Chains A and B, each alone.
Chain A
């Protein structure tokens, strides 16, 4: 944090009276280990730090991403060069009618520095647990920092240590079960317990495959499967700009033309999550109810959308996607899932979802990892990979029978460019009809 503060102080004194700035900071020191056949396939470490500088002058503004060099004098030099580049750029630009600045000097600070496990210990635990099983997986660990400062005196800092071991166990027949162990305190016994649960599921996968014909089936979607549906909806689904420009898959929900089941209440709940409580645009993030008892409610509004559409910003990210989404729990007890499903599909995960018809919120995707055929409340056999094609208004609307009372906190394992801090807290969903097509 001190390095970032020093850069902020330098920038403040370098500005002219007419200039304003936003300065974002992102850094991580990550240990990455990928496994194949229960051995280490590839391992390495990444240290990276970068700034995002926005310079504003007379209604014009531009953003510049700068990778830092890790040495204070060099970092100041790069920031100075970046400032100069933006000063030369701004006169080339028109005024931006959608520039909406936050002049509040808000302060936000969140630091968590629990010690991370030694890699040697982690490797030993994984090696022991995976004895005799075909494990494939990925371990990512280390500190992550995010910062924000503005010329108006706003300052946010978020720093957290975390690890995420995302893994699959493969049966010799090619079927697999997926699991993860993530958090900020590695507990060998807890890890062994999680691993054992996955091993037990793997045993079911050794049974002969139950071949399904395309058709309509009752189905239970475990939280990780429901997460795939929720994740694709978040591609613009809750975005104020996407809703206004008719590219949101939930535009009919927000127009009041469609509704979901009254069981469905969805919130963006940043407070207490693993994500920074401030946006890269300089606004503190608010908690927002996005869907209330099946009806479209709040939207995710960043400052640009707020200016363009006359809305109030709630500190949404530049792409107006959620980062700490929660779905309200239902009443279906964990122990009753198979019994209430009766005969149908138990789907642990879905994969590679996309839209068949976006305005109609009609989705397609695949089953993947531990999908079972259940008869009279008992798991009978694994099911071969199947494609579904169905509408959100059906799956989470007319055909939604129940949501589970227990919810699962699913931490993002995404590492595109940098380790992701997003999370979803979701129940499982029992649906009366899921349409399989291939």
Chain B
């Protein structure tokens, strides 16, 4: 672990520059993606990636140069390119960062169970193969896949103010997907995939419940094929955690990103319906809504000690009892906006610069178990597992679709329905939050696929949530 640390430190101390501040962020990532589709193992995809980003501040202008050449001459050349660009940019620069404070922290952060070896490639294939083989023989089951992604990431951050931050993390992404087809319609059920990932080792696969999952997922796909379409009209909506994470992500996470509010993303990811003046004033949701930036749940995907600019991370309430308190803004955005924020300046790898990202963005548990949540609904629908997401560039008007729906009538779960969709407006939706599940409904989930930024970056984000109920939501089905 951290085997390049001594060499990098030596190189870093040998770098020559006239910049008032400079930093080096080295990232090494390795791992594999394995899958077995319809009982045939696909060839494994392995990877080894490493490189470094040099950032300089010259007369208050910061620029970066990323390089795959991490020799001393390679790093020195990158540093000089960044310096040269900073001088060229100066007359056109938006920001003067001479007064922005920098980190001098020294710390290490490790994923849980990092010392435990992960099962071998052949053991992993055996596990995936056994689960694939457990899908029952039924001609309507036309496709299924069991997969496992594994990624080890080491990052070393050094800067000219003395910061020395090391992170070693291991991420695990299991998934099962089955598609059923009846000659006209097709329906899929998914466990995990882009809805699940955690830090850790084999314990992640155990918590995920991979073993024995495939027959149940296949059965649910067949149930959907036989199910009627979701009826149209307003209903109380019970969202399970594997849809709540998408709901949180799109209609709380993105609109609270401070760089969006500052306009940086207007050309690509979009802006926000939230204004800087809303913090401390806007009743974002009902009194039941408590949203936290929480880097302290060890297994969650974006738990870490410091962000990629070196700011220490700690749990913060962004929304408490429905009141909007803090944005998702890292040190630079806080400096620009004159607001407090959180440690969420993150980069997808060595070749992309840190920007404001979601990290772990969670909803705190409430006080009702699942039976109580269902029991409190007269005319409603349960939806789980996101399959479709669409929201406007200000993160307000949305339409989301799920794989699985079950009607709820007079406090009881009724039949399965297919193609469950709902649409609403963020600024109103969270005020309809009428019940929040307790710890027994709370799940630590996340996704490896959050896209944003120019140049584009895709990053891992964690979301943990209980099941939640929203009153009177516009629900509808598909065409099939």
Are B454 and A415 in contact, CB atoms less than 8 angstroms apart?
yes
B360 interfacial by beta-carbon distance below 8 Å? no
Known: A71-B69, A92-B120, A360-B479. A50 touches B181 (CB 8 A): no
A65–B31 alpha-carbon span in the complex (Å):
10
Which of A40-48, A147-155, A219-227 lies at the binding interface? A40-48
Known: A63-B45, A138-B267. A415 touches B351 (CB 8 A): no
The 22 listed contacts between A and B (C-beta, < 8 Å) are A35-B267, A36-B262, A46-B66, A46-B351, A49-B68, A62-B45, A65-B47, A67-B48, A71-B74, A93-B122, A93-B125, A94-B125, A123-B89, A136-B267, A170-B266, A176-B266, A354-B388, A356-B478, A357-B479, A366-B391, A415-B455, A416-B451
Which of A383-391, A397-405, A421-429 lies at the binding interface? A383-391
Are A247 and B458 in contact, CB atoms less than 8 angstroms apart?
no
Chain B residues positioned under 8 Å from A360 (CB to CB): 478-480
Known: A48-B351, A356-B421. A85 touches B46 (CB 8 A): yes
A310 interfacial by beta-carbon distance below 8 Å? no
Chain A residues positioned under 8 Å from B457 (CB to CB): 416
Are A69 and B68 in contact, CB atoms less than 8 angstroms apart?
yes
Q: Told that A68-B68, A385-B393, A391-B479 touch, could you supply 13 new A-B pairs with CB distance under 8 A? A: A39-B92, A65-B47, A66-B47, A92-B121, A123-B92, A138-B268, A352-B391, A352-B393, A355-B401, A356-B479, A360-B479, A362-B478, A415-B456
Chain B residues positioned under 8 Å from A245 (CB to CB): 142-143, 179
Task: Enumerate the 5 nearest inter-chain pairs by beta-carbon distance, A residue then B residue, closest first.
Answer: A357-B478, A70-B69, A44-B64, A245-B143, A39-B94
* Residue ID in chain A nearest B71 by CB atoms: A71
Chain A residues positioned under 8 Å from B67 (CB to CB): 46-48, 70
Count of A-B residue pairs with CB < 8 Å: 258
Chain B residues positioned under 8 Å from A46 (CB to CB): 65-67, 351-352, 455
Known: A69-B71, A385-B394. A251 touches B423 (CB 8 A): no
Chain B residues positioned under 8 Å from A97 (CB to CB): 40
Are B68 and A438 in contact, CB atoms less than 8 angstroms apart?
no
Are B419 and A67 in contact, CB atoms less than 8 angstroms apart?
no
A217 interfacial by beta-carbon distance below 8 Å? no
A32–B89 alpha-carbon span in the complex (Å):
12
A123–B93 alpha-carbon span in the complex (Å):
10
A380 interfacial by beta-carbon distance below 8 Å? no
Are A119 and B88 in contact, CB atoms less than 8 angstroms apart?
yes
Which residues of B (57-97) have their CB < 8 Å from a CB of A? Answer: 62-71, 74, 78, 81-82, 85-86, 88-89, 92-95
A309 interfacial by beta-carbon distance below 8 Å? no
Most buried by B among A93, A120, A356: A356
Are A34 and B454 in contact, CB atoms less than 8 angstroms apart?
yes
- Nearest chain A CB to B476's CB is how many angstroms away? 8
Are A366 and B393 in contact, CB atoms less than 8 angstroms apart?
yes
Are A89 and B393 in contact, CB atoms less than 8 angstroms apart?
no
**Contact pick for A359, options B50, B186, B393, CB 8 Å:** B186
Known: A138-B454, A366-B393. A93 touches B41 (CB 8 A): yes
Chain A residues positioned under 8 Å from B42 (CB to CB): 96, 304
**Contact pick for B125, options A64, A92, A368, CB 8 Å:** A92
B296 interfacial by beta-carbon distance below 8 Å? no
A365 interfacial by beta-carbon distance below 8 Å? yes
Known: A356-B478, A387-B423, A415-B454. A120 touches B68 (CB 8 A): no
A70–B355 alpha-carbon span in the complex (Å):
27
Which residues of A (101-135) have their CB < 8 Å from a CB of B? Answer: 119-120, 123, 127
Chain A interface SS verdict (over half): strand
Are B49 and A50 in contact, CB atoms less than 8 angstroms apart?
yes
**Contact pick for A93, options B43, B71, B262, B480, CB 8 Å:** B43
Most buried by B among A44, A89, A304: A44
Chain B residues positioned under 8 Å from A78 (CB to CB): 48
**Contact pick for A89, options B41, B46, B267, B419, CB 8 Å:** B46
Known: A45-B66, A47-B67, A92-B120. A63 touches B44 (CB 8 A): yes
Q: Mark B8-52, 1 if CB is under 8 A from A, else 0.
A: 000000000000000000000000000000001111111111110
B264 interfacial by beta-carbon distance below 8 Å? yes
A359–B401 alpha-carbon span in the complex (Å):
14
Are B48 and A65 in contact, CB atoms less than 8 angstroms apart?
yes
A312 interfacial by beta-carbon distance below 8 Å? no
Chain B residues positioned under 8 Å from A123 (CB to CB): 88-89, 92
- Nearest chain A CB to B110's CB is how many angstroms away? 23
Known: A166-B267, A355-B401. A37 touches B458 (CB 8 A): no
* Residue ID in chain A nearest B46 by CB atoms: A64
- Nearest chain B CB to A395's CB is how many angstroms away? 14
Chain B interface SS verdict (over half): mixed
- Nearest chain A CB to B448's CB is how many angstroms away? 13
Chain B residues positioned under 8 Å from A61 (CB to CB): 43
Chain A residues positioned under 8 Å from B353 (CB to CB): 42, 44
Chain B residues positioned under 8 Å from A414 (CB to CB): 456
Chain A residues positioned under 8 Å from B63 (CB to CB): 43-44
A417–B42 alpha-carbon span in the complex (Å):
23
A238 interfacial by beta-carbon distance below 8 Å? no
A437 interfacial by beta-carbon distance below 8 Å? yes
Are B263 and A36 in contact, CB atoms less than 8 angstroms apart?
yes
Q: Mark B419-462, 1 if CB is under 8 A from A, else 0.
A: 10101010000000000000000000000000100111110000
Are B82 and A45 in contact, CB atoms less than 8 angstroms apart?
yes
**Contact pick for A389, options B268, B399, B454, CB 8 Å:** B399
Are B267 and A168 in contact, CB atoms less than 8 angstroms apart?
yes
Known: A46-B455, A62-B44, A360-B478. A385 touches B397 (CB 8 A): yes
A82 interfacial by beta-carbon distance below 8 Å? yes
Known: A40-B89, A415-B455. A96 touches B41 (CB 8 A): yes
A140–B352 alpha-carbon span in the complex (Å):
13
A353–B393 alpha-carbon span in the complex (Å):
12
B392 interfacial by beta-carbon distance below 8 Å? yes
- Nearest chain A CB to B270's CB is how many angstroms away? 8
* Residue ID in chain B nearest A119 by CB atoms: B88
B367 interfacial by beta-carbon distance below 8 Å? no
B202 interfacial by beta-carbon distance below 8 Å? no
Are B390 and A354 in contact, CB atoms less than 8 angstroms apart?
yes
A167 interfacial by beta-carbon distance below 8 Å? yes
- Nearest chain B CB to A269's CB is how many angstroms away? 25
Chain B residues positioned under 8 Å from A321 (CB to CB): none
Which residues of A (152-181) have their CB < 8 Å from a CB of B? Answer: 166-168, 170, 174, 176, 178
